[in-house]
């Protein structure tokens, strides 16, 4: 997340301008945002509850898993990498 935060903070773009994420397609980015939103909004849930959700989230094909790992690495989202 640090790299994304730095990109946003150093961008000279107007608020509505797109921020280029060259290594991530929109489908993968949607899933990353879904993961981030879930974990942000459910910080008080037990490990078992979030673990169940994560298992369901990662129930996808190998190509999507690989793309999610690449996106998490590119955006430096350690929680997603470690899930």
CATH (domain of 32): 3.30.710.10
The answer to whether residue 68 sits within a structural domain is yes
pTM of this prediction exceeds 0.85: no
| 3-class DSSP state of 14 | coil
The answer to whether residue 2 sits within a structural domain is no
- The rounded distance, in Å, linking the Cα atoms of 52 and 59 is 11
∠ Cα 7 80 68 (to 5°): 80
- The rounded distance, in Å, linking the Cα atoms of 28 and 68 is 6
Count of domains forming the chain? 1
The answer to whether residue 4 sits within a structural domain is no
- The rounded distance, in Å, linking the Cα atoms of 52 and 4 is 28
Residue 78 confidence (pLDDT): 92
Residue 8 confidence (pLDDT): 58
Residue 23 confidence (pLDDT): 81
Range of the domain at 34: 21-82
Task: Convert the pLDDT of each residue in 2-51 to its tens digit.
Answer: 555 665 566 555 566 666 777 899 999 999 999 999 999 999 999 999 99
Residue 21 confidence (pLDDT): 75
Residue 57 confidence (pLDDT): 96
């Amino acid at each position: 997340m640090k790299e994304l935060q730095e990109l946003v903070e150093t961008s000279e773009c107007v608020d509505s301008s797109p921020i280029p994420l060259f290594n991530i397609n929109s489908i993968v980015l949607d899933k990353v945002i879904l993961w981030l939103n879930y974990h942000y909004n459910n910080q008080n849930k037990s490990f078992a509850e979030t673990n169940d959700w994560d298992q369901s989230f990662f129930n996808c094909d190998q190509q999507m898993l690989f793309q999610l790992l690449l996106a998490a690495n590119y955006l430096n989202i350690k929680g997603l990498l470690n899930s």
